[in-house]
Structure 1
Amino acid sequence: MTTVQATVPVRAAGVGLRAVGHTYGNGHTVLRDVELDVAPGEIAAILGPSGCGKSTLLRLVAGLDAPTAGTITVDGRAVTGIDERCAVVFQEPRLLPWRDLAGNVALGLPKGTSRSAGARTVRHWLDVVGLDGFHRHRPRQVSGGMAQRAALARALVREPGVLLLDEPFAALDALTRLRMQDLLAEVQRAAGTTVLLVTHDVDEALHLADRVVLLGAAPGHADGRAGATVAVVYDVPYPRPRDRARPELAALRAGLLERLGVPRPTPAEEHSP
């Protein structure tokens, strides 16, 4: 794939969370007192055990749900509903089967975009994500990886200040997932948008992110019903693009896995056949 070039660099937006909490209608609290800042143009990966509120946090930033406590800002302005400064890519592509890929991507265009400008923008981003020549294909005619590329293009046509990704590669096979990670890294470098990536994959987080945010209940409150939600932030102090085999990442990986409940192997286990 050729080097990615954005039509116009995005004005990246910072994200701020202050004492953010969320309790569902059934009384179940998934987030409490979360404090987090994501700088403009940064990639932040959000890790944590199932049920800790990762996807909920993403929905709150997007304005798809409202926090029950605290405030969220994007570019210094409070999020009070579905936020036009953000775009979301979900785990499933969620493409309309009766529209071709270009028609699906066009659904992401901002209101008021002219037909000619919209067509140019759609074509550009489909080409950027490697779908040149597939503009008129229907979702059923392309692979899962290609459909997810189209979903990414649909988000990018908005030229969002913040791109929110909710496990976007989880349903893909291993090789396609690696290619999509590299594509995302290249697109982000070209467009400059801020990225919040929810993932269960520690290696994915370390390959893509400038910082890894580990969500979990405060010590002594593992059931999540009391206490704060701890957001432990790990810096990944190596430049992007990043070599997956970089040896310095091994210590970060081991530390993250240990915090997630996967203990380091003992010397005897390391040398066992």
Structure 2
Amino acid sequence: MAARAAGVRLRGLGHTFGNGHAVLRDIDLDLPPGEIVAILGPSGCGKSTLLRLVAGLDTPSAGEVLVDGRAVTGIDERCAVVFQEPRLLPWRDLAGNVRLGLPKGTRKAEGDRIVRHWLDVVGLAGFHGHRPRQVSGGMAQRTALARALAREPGVLLLDEPFAALDALTRLRMQDLLADVQRGAGTTVLLVTHDVDEALHLADRVVMLGSVPPEPGATVVTTLDVKHPRPRDRAHPELAELRADLLERLGVPRPVPAEEAAPS
């Protein structure tokens, strides 16, 4: 069961809040079908706002969002969103929560098959009838991922989906996402604060930042991650990319011990 990946094109995208605060400006970005792109940047630079504009949850103040060449003018069913919190309905079991993601008009038998498939894919076989309070945070977030994938979206939008999880569960969820994306083939736009997460998952890392004197964040750096998957998090090539990204985020490279030692 694979989604038909959709391409995303942002042209001159900008957004200003009602109080006059410009958060984004002049965003030009292309996501070819099937690519994983990670968005990095300092807190408050508009990463989540960018995701909401692509999803059609907010309306841009300038520019346009195109999915498969068609303008996004409202909530777009070609896109599915996973937020930092699972946002599951506590009175529904896990299968019932995943069913909420099904496209309108899905017949019951087909819906049952799709729900069962995605719960199995995310490692929740046997937990279909559990309520959210009966499972761990990681399992709840896997359910949220299954709910998004049940829509068979052309574009999967992820807003720091693993940030609230413990370190080990976060690593497992990253690996799960990489496996699911490889099988489903959907285009992924991932907002994250985690440089290591971006390097483990993305084909391309896009960094947002401000360029004075103009207000609002724009694209300041784009970095290709060409290391093949599955990726070894400790690979020296990724370590060098990590140091580069951290430096661009304002974290200086460590000084080698022999250079730091007093003469």
Q: Distance in 1 between matches of 2:170 and 2:82?
A: 15
Stretches of structure 1 that go unaligned for 5 or more consecutive residues are 1-6
Q: Secondary structure at the match of 1:165?
A: strand
Are 1:248 and 2:221 counterparts? no
Letter in 2 for 1:239: P
Partner of 2:170: 177
Q: Measure, in 1, the Cα distance between the counterparts of 2:178 and 2:260.
A: 35
Structure 2 gap ranges (5+): none
For residues 241 and 271 of structure 1, do their structure 2 counterparts lie closer, same or farther at Cα, with a shift above 3 Å needed?
farther
- For the 8 Å contact 1:36–1:231, the answer to whether it is kept is no
1:156 counterpart = 2:149: yes
* 1:129 corresponds to 2:122: yes
* Residue matched to 2:248: 259
- Percent identity of the aligned residues? 80
Provide closer, same or farther for how the CA distance between residues 269 and 68 of structure 1 changes in structure 2, counting only shifts above 3 A: farther
TM-score (norm: length of structure 1):
0.93
SS of the aligned residue for 1:248 comes to helix
Question: What per-residue deviation string (whole Å, max 9, x for no partner) do you get for residues 162-189 of structure 1?
Answer: 0000000000000000000000000000
Query: Judging changes above 3 Å, is the alpha-carbon distance between structure 1 residues 270 and 192 closer, same or farther for their aligned structure 2 residues?
Result: farther
Give the length in aligned residue pairs.
Answer: 261
Superposition pairs for residues 111-130 of structure 1, below 5 Å?
111-130=104-123
CA contact (8 A) 1:35 1:231 kept: no
Are 2:49 and 1:53 aligned? no
1:225 pairs with 200, 203, 215, which one? 215
Q: Distance in 2 between matches of 1:43 and 1:269?
A: 39
Once the two structures are TM-superposed, the CA of residue 150 in structure 1 deviates from its matched residue by 0.1
Write the mapping of 1:1-273 to structure 2, written as runs, cut at 5 A: 7=1, 9-218=2-211, 220-221=212-213, 225=215, 229-268=218-257
Could you tell me how far apart the structure 2 residues matched to 1:245 and 1:270 are? 24
**Is contact 1:97-1:140 (8 Å) kept?**
yes
* Structure-2 change in CA distance of 1:271 and 1:152 (3 Å): farther
For residue 178 of structure 2, what is the amino acid of its counterpart? A
> Which 4+ runs in 1 deviate beyond 6 A?
269-272
